[in-house]
Amino acid sequence: MGSSARKKKEKKKDFQKVKLKVGKTKAKPDNFTDTSFKAKSIVVNQQSLSTSAPTSSAQFEHYLSLASSSRSDTQRRDALAYLTSRLSSRPVNEPLPLPTSILLPKLAPLILDGTASVRTQLLKFLRLLPSSDIGDRAEAMLLYIRAGMTHLAVDIRTDALSVMEWMLEVAPEDVVACPGGWVKTLKCFMSMMGWALSIGTTKWTAATKVSFGKAGKTFPRQLMVLAQFLRAGLVEPHALPPTASRQALFPLTDVNIHMIPTSSNAYAHLNLFGTPRDEEGEMYVDREGRQRVFNKLFQTAVEKGIENAKKEAGEPGRAGAVLAKVLKDGMGDFNGVDDTL
Amino acid sequence: MPKKRVGALEKVDADLPNLQYKIRRDPKSYSEDFLNQYGQYKSQRDIFMASPSTATSAGIVSFRDLIDFVAHVADCFPEDTAEFPEDLKSILTSYHAELESELREKIVGSLVLLRRKEIIDSANLLNTLFPILVATPSKTLRSLLFSKILSDLRTSNSKSTNHRLNRTMQTALFNLLSSDKTSQKGIWAVKITRELWKRQIWTDAKAVEIMKEASLADNEKVIGGGVRFFLGGDKEREELDDESSDEEIVDIGKLKHQHGINKKTKKKTKTLERAVEKVKKHEKKKKAPHPLNFSALHLLHDPQGFAEQLFSKHLQNTKSKLNLDQKLLVLQLVSRLIGLHKLTVISLYSYFIKYLTPRQPSVTSFLASLAQATHSLVPPDALEPLVQKIANEFVSEASASEVASAGLNAIREICVRQPLAMNDTLLQDLVMYRKSKDKGTMMAAKGLLSLYREVGADMLKKRDRGKTATMGLKSGSIKDRRFGEEEAGGIEGLELLEEWKENERKRKRVERGLPEEVGSDEEEDDEQDWDAWDVESDASSDSGGWINVESDGEIEISDSEDDKPAVKKAKTQASKSEAEAKDSNEKTELEKEEQKISKLATTKILTPADLAKLQELRLEASLSKAMGGNKVQTARQKELLARHADDALTAEQIEGFSKLRKSTKEERVALAREGKGDRSEHKSTQALRRDKKDSEGKSSTNKEKSRKKNFMMTLGKAKFKQKRSLVQTKRVLQGHVERSKRGGKRGNIGM
* Pick from B382, B379, B376: nearest CA to B353: B382
* Pick from A283, A295, A282, A296: nearest CA to A330: A295
What is the number of structural domains in chain A? Answer: 2
What is the model's pLDDT at position B142? 92
Query: What is chain A's alpha carbon radius of gyration, rounded to the nearest angstrom?
Result: 33
Q: Are residues A162 and A284 located together in one domain of the fold?
A: yes
A107 Cα to chain B: minimum distance (Å): 13
B76: closest chain A residue by CA: A200
Q: Are residues A62 and A154 located together in one domain of the fold?
A: no
A204 Cα to chain B: minimum distance (Å): 9
Furthest-apart CA pair in chain A: how many Å?
133
CB contact under 8 Å between A191 and B46, yes or no, is no
Calpha distance B110→B91 (Å, rounded):
12
Q: Which of B31, B42, B56 sits opposite A198 (nearest CB)?
A: B31
Which residues of chain A have a CB within 8 Å of the CB of B14? 151-153
Residue type, B280: K
What is the model's pLDDT at position B729? 92
Element holding A163 (H helix, E strand):
helix A154-170
Which residues of chain B have a CB within 8 Å of the CB of A188? 39, 43
Calpha distance A162→A222 (Å, rounded):
10
Q: Are residues A125 and A175 located together in one domain of the fold?
A: no
What is the model's pLDDT at position B3? 43
A317 within a domain of the structure (yes/no): yes
Query: What is chain B's alpha carbon radius of gyration, rounded to the nearest angstrom?
Result: 36
CB contact under 8 Å between A211 and B30, yes or no, is yes
ipTM at complex level = 0.72
Element holding B293 (H helix, E strand):
none
Which residues of chain B have a CB within 8 Å of the CB of A143? 43, 46-47, 50
B76 Cα to chain A: minimum distance (Å): 10
Chain B contact for A214, CB < 8 A? yes
Size of interface A-B (CB pairs under 8 A): 107
Which residues of chain B have a CB within 8 Å of the CB of A192? 36
CB-CB contact of B146 with B191 (8 Å): yes
Calpha distance B156→A112 (Å, rounded):
42
B80: closest chain A residue by CA: A199
Testing the interface with A: which of B35, B53, B56, B94 to mutate, by most A Cβ within 10 A? B35
Q: Are residues A88 and A224 located together in one domain of the fold?
A: no
What is the model's pLDDT at position B232? 83
- Characterise A56 by phi-psi region: left (phi > 0), alpha (psi -120 to 50), beta (else): alpha
CB-CB contact of B104 with B83 (8 Å): no
Q: Are residues A279 and A336 located together in one domain of the fold?
A: yes
Q: Which of A143, A188, A200 sits opposite B50 (nearest CB)?
A: A143
B110 Cα to chain A: minimum distance (Å): 21
Which residues of chain A have a CB within 8 Å of the CB of B35? 191, 196, 198
What stretches in chain A show pLDDT beneath 50?
A: 200-214, 338-341
What is the span of the domain harbouring residue A294?
142-196+214-236+269-341
Q: Are residues A104 and A223 located together in one domain of the fold?
A: no
Which residues, 6 or more positions from B616, have their beta carbon under 8 angstroms from its beta carbon?
B540, B542, B543, B547
Element holding B305 (H helix, E strand):
helix B303-310
Chain B contact for A277, CB < 8 A? no
Q: Which of B39, B78, B80 sits opposite A150 (nearest CB)?
A: B39
What is the model's pLDDT at position B727? 94
Furthest-apart CA pair in chain B: how many Å?
128
Which residues of chain B have a CB within 8 Å of the CB of A198? 31-32, 34-35, 77, 79-80
Q: Are residues A94 and A226 located together in one domain of the fold?
A: no
Q: Helix B380-394 to helix B424-431 angle, to the nearest 10 degrees?
A: 30
Which residues of chain B have a CB within 8 Å of the CB of A140? 50
Q: Are residues A185 and A287 located together in one domain of the fold?
A: yes
Residue type, B419: P
The neighbour count for residue A194, using CB atoms within 10 Å, is 23
Residue B125 CB burial class (10 angstroms; 0-12, 13-18, ≥19): buried
Chain B contact for A130, CB < 8 A? no
What is the model's pLDDT at position B318? 85
Chain B contact for A275, CB < 8 A? no
Q: Are residues A304 and A220 located together in one domain of the fold?
A: yes
Chain B contact for A200, CB < 8 A? yes
CB-CB contact of B376 with B347 (8 Å): no
Q: Are residues A184 and A274 located together in one domain of the fold?
A: yes
Calpha distance A91→A82 (Å, rounded):
16
A108: closest chain B residue by CA: B47
Centroid of chain to Cα B547? 21
Calpha distance A263→A281 (Å, rounded):
20
Would you list which residues of chain B are within 8 Å, Cβ to Cβ, of chain A? 7-10, 13-16, 19, 28-37, 39-40, 42-44, 46-47, 50, 56, 58-61, 77-80
CB contact under 8 Å between A152 and B80, yes or no, is no
What is the model's pLDDT at position B556? 42
Q: Are residues A228 and A308 located together in one domain of the fold?
A: yes
CB-CB contact of A168 with A129 (8 Å): no
Calpha distance A264→A268 (Å, rounded):
9
Which residues, 6 or more positions from A323, have their beta carbon under 8 angstroms from its beta carbon?
A223, A224, A226, A227, A230, A302, A306, A309
A181 Cα to chain B: minimum distance (Å): 12
Domain ranges of chain B: 302-475, 494-519+526-540+547-632
- Characterise A313 by phi-psi region: left (phi > 0), alpha (psi -120 to 50), beta (else): left
A98 within a domain of the structure (yes/no): yes
Q: Give average pLDDT by consecutive 10-residue segment, chain B, 751 residues.
A: 44 70 86 83 84 63 85 89 90 86 90 91 88 89 92 89 89 89 88 89 89 90 92 81 68 83 88 87 75 79 92 89 91 91 91 91 91 90 92 89 90 89 91 87 89 86 86 78 73 78 84 61 48 48 48 41 42 46 50 55 75 81 59 48 63 67 72 68 80 87 84 80 89 92 72 46
What is the model's pLDDT at position B536? 46
Residue B18 CB burial class (10 angstroms; 0-12, 13-18, ≥19): middle
A182 within a domain of the structure (yes/no): yes
Q: Are residues A148 and A89 located together in one domain of the fold?
A: no
